[in-house]
Amino acid sequence: MTGFLRGVVTALVTPFTEDGVNFATLDALLSRQEREGADAVAVLGTTGEPSTMAAEEKEAVIRFARAHCGKMKLIVGTGGNDTSAAVKMTRLAADLGADGILAVTPYYNKCTQRGLIAYYRKLCAAVSLPVIAYNVPARTGVNLLPATMAELAEIPNMAGIKEASGNMAQVMETARRIRGKCDLYAGEDALALPILAAGGTAVISVVSNLFPAQVKRLTGLVFQGDLAAANRLNDVLLPLIGACFSEVNPIPVKAALALLGYDVGLPRAPLTELEPPHLDLMKAALLTFEAEIGRCG
């Protein structure tokens, strides 16, 4: 299927207290995303730290987001390395009102391409919602190849692929094979511009936690064909993007949100707080971004 997502999908952090999820801050984050034009939010993706959340916390986050995301579409991360558990989570997300599913490739087990096809077929068969495959081999150890995605694109409710392989040659080949069947989504902020220019319809973004309006503007400029203006804006965004990935996501973006005044708490162990040199890098990147963003207009 095509046409499910267009524009900016913020891969939302999960704010924590020492005792659980900080729903007051989650409300503030969702309100800001809607106010500044995000088209959708994705909860319980990599940035949301679901691997260290209890089942009850995940359900509570989905319920809360559904009630507070306004006109934005709600995408829920449900993938995992246990297919039966992923199917159950996918059905739960559907029952709680998700608009779509984001399903990472199975990790650690390192299944074959045939295993990936079987996995996504079961997830897609479990619900009628649009399902987005999520390819991030640096974190999972599994690479969803273009020929495999071409086969998955034939599934009626396979909406597209969040591509975070970092391999533009692979991304372009995937785009060629799925064009007109399902959509391509940029899964890395640093490659959002070229992926959108190659026909991607949305960016599932980490940096839009910080400045959703500017990421929204970037997508709009590309869709309008104004690549000169898009490149000027992207030039300003890139140092901030670099700071957001100076350590493993979501360590840096949570530190940045704290610097912007949001009580998101620390990442959960085994993730740690941002190292001092990278915190200095983030502070400088935020100051530079805020000083330079005006020149893009």
Domains and their CATH numbers in the chain: 7-216 (3.20.20.70)
Residues 57-104 have pLDDT tens digits of 999 999 999 999 999 999 999 999 999 999 999 999 999 999 999 999
Catalytic residue among 58, 73, 162, 216: 162
- Once rounded to an integer, what is the mean pLDDT over residues 142-167? 98
In the residue annotation, 162 being an active-site residue is answered as yes
- Report the chain's C-alpha Rg in angstroms: 18
Provide the 3-class DSSP secondary structure of residue 204: strand
Residue 42, pLDDT > 90, answer yes
CA distances from 23 to 14, 67, 94, 261 (A): 9, 12, 21, 15
- Of the candidate ranges 165-169, 172-176, 247-251, 292-296, the one whose mean pLDDT is the lowest: 292-296
Q: Which residues contact 166 (CB under 8 A, 6 or more apart)?
A: 138, 188, 191
202 φ/ψ angles, rounded to the nearest 5 degrees: -160, 160
Helices (H) then strands (E): counts for the chain:
12, 8
The strand ranges marked E within the chain are 7-11, 40-43, 73-77, 100-104, 131-135, 158-163, 183-186, 202-205
134 is a catalytic site residue: yes
Give pLDDT tens digits for 248-287: 999 999 999 999 999 999 999 999 999 999 999 999 999 9
Digit-coded pLDDT (tens) for 103-149: 999 999 999 999 999 999 999 999 999 999 999 999 999 999 999 99
pLDDT at 297 > cutoff 60: no
Phi, psi (rounded to 5 degrees) for 145: -80, 155
What 3-state class would DSSP assign to 63?
A: helix
pTM summary value: 0.95
For residue 74, what are the β-bridge partners?
A: 41
Distance CA 266, CA 102 (A): 24
For residues 38 and 208, give the distance between their C-alpha atoms in angstroms, rounded to a whole number: 8
Catalytic residue among 119, 120, 134, 185: 134
Q: 220, exposed or middle or buried, with CB in 10 Å at 0-12, 13-18, 19+?
A: middle
